[in-house]
Structure 1
Amino acid sequence: MIDHAHDLAAVQEATDRLLTAAAALDNAALAGPSRLPGWSRGHVLAHLARNADALVNVLGGRPMYESGEARDADIARDAPRPLDVHLADLRDSADRFRAEGARPADWSRTVELRNGVLDEAARIPFRRLIEVELHHVDLGVGYELEDLPDEFVRREIQFLADRFAGNAAVPPTTLTGNNGHSLSTGGDQGAPVTVGGPPWDLLGWLAGRRDGSALKVTGGPLPALPPL
């Protein structure tokens, strides 16, 4: 069972960590490249602020973004701002998301995200947690996949395994962590493979943050995953 209140609290904790890390930057570092191709650290912070507002829209029954083009334009517009403006925007947008999450609501209702994706409202706080935690890593400021909370890593691996389940572009794949726990993902075509290793390396590969070279693969080559 999804505990949205637990996840809302986790979002706040992760946001506080992110804000502390971002506050240690300066404007020159902010303009430097992040780990996401073509994005500066300013792009990452701008995206995080606008994503918080977009998820407020989702919880409020409104379109997540006006359009894909508007989303990209907002990020490009906000990326060059000075650090103090970024920090204020991150705090304010996080406060708006927290306030929306505190409203009495039917958390079992279905909500719509980008590209017609449907989900249960109770899962939106975890989706926000994914954004905050992984993009903190993307900033390249010393917060690594190995630093992510264990509960988050476990749940995000499950989330991504579910996302690729049934995808014909991915062969039948068994994911195994160091604790012996296993998950199944992929479609039903092709030779089955098993991919194992430390959970943060599994997460990095599934989330497109690592190339999977640290993983052990049996039954065939490491599957090429479609973009998220």
Structure 2
Amino acid sequence: MIDHVRDLASVRDATERLLTAAAKLDNASVAEPSRLPGWSRGHVLAHLARNADALVNVLAGRPMYSSAEVRDTDIERDAPRPLDVQLTDVRESAARFQDTGAEPADWSRTVELRNGVTDSASRVPFRRWVEVELHHVDLGIGYELEDLPEEFVEREIAFLADRFSGHPDVPPTRITDHARAWSTGRAAEDGFDITVTGPAPDLLGWLSGRRDGSALSTSGGPLPALPPL
């Protein structure tokens, strides 16, 4: 069962880790490229702030973003800001998200995110946790996939594997770190076509598009090409 209260606490802790690490930057390094193509570190920080407000909208029953164009424009507008403004925005927007999460609510209700995607309200804190942890890695400031909490890595692998389940372009695939296993891709009629094996951080990197999968081993065929998230 999803524990949204525990996930909100994990979001708070992850946000503090990110803010503490990012506070060591300066204005010049905020303007430098992040690990996300076309985005500076300022873009990543601006996105994190606007995403927190967008998820407040989701929990309040409002559209996540008024439009895709507004989302992109807001990030571009906020990306060039100096470090102190960026950190204040991330901190204050994170507090708004936490305050909304602390309000009495029916956490079993269905909410709508972007592009018509729906989910249980109880999973929204985990979605925010994903944003904070993975974008901390994307900043390229010394926090790597290997530094992510083990619980987070396991849950995010399961979440992404489920996201690709049933996808016609992904063969029936078993994913394992030797200790745990997940499945993804088309339904397996006669067993899995391919097994992908490797350390959990590398599996997460491959599934999330943050590593090319070269550190993974496969049997039954080549490493499947995954569609964009």
Q: Is this a same-fold pair by TM over 0.5? A: yes
Residue 33 of structure 2 corresponds to: 33
> What are the residue-to-residue correspondences of 1:1-228 with 2, within 5 Å?
1-179=1-179, 181-188=180-187, 192-228=193-229
Q: Distance in 2 between matches of 1:87 and 1:155?
A: 28
> Given that residues 204 and 210 in structure 1 are in contact (C-alpha distance below 8 angstroms), is that contact kept between their aligned partners in structure 2?
yes
1:178 to partner: Cα distance? 3.0
Letter in 2 for 1:219: G
The number of residue pairs the alignment matches comes to: 227
Q: How far apart, in 2, do the equivalents of 1:189 and 1:167 lie? A: 12
Provide the C-alpha distance between the structure 2 equivalents of 1:78 and 1:164, rounded to a whole number of angstroms: 32
Cα deviation, residue 183, structure 1: 1.1
Q: Secondary structure at the match of 1:35?
A: coil
Contact conserved, 1:178 with 1:199, CA < 8 A, in 2?
Answer: no
Displacement of 1:189: 7.8
For 1:188, the aligned partner's letter is: A
CA shift for structure 1 position 79:
0.1
**Distance (Å, rounded) in 1 between the aligned partners of 2:18 and 2:108:** 29
Q: Hey, what's the Cα distance between the residues in 1 that align with 2:31 and 2:169?
A: 36
Deviation at 1:137, TM superposition (A): 0.1
Is the 1:168–1:188 contact (alpha carbons within 8 Å) kept by the matching residues of 2?
no
Supply the distance in 1 between the matched residues of 2:181 and 2:84 (Cα, whole angstroms). 44
The separation in 1 between residues aligned to 2:188 and 2:78, in whole angstroms, is: 44
**Deviation string, structure 1 residues 115-162 (Cα, Å, up to 9, x no partner):** 000000000000000000000000000000000000000000000011
Q: Root-mean-square deviation (CA), in Å?
A: 1.1
Contact 1:110–1:118 (Cα < 8 Å) also in 2: yes
Query: Does the 8 Å contact 2:165/2:187 carry over to 1?
Result: no
Structure 1 unaligned blocks of 5 or more: none
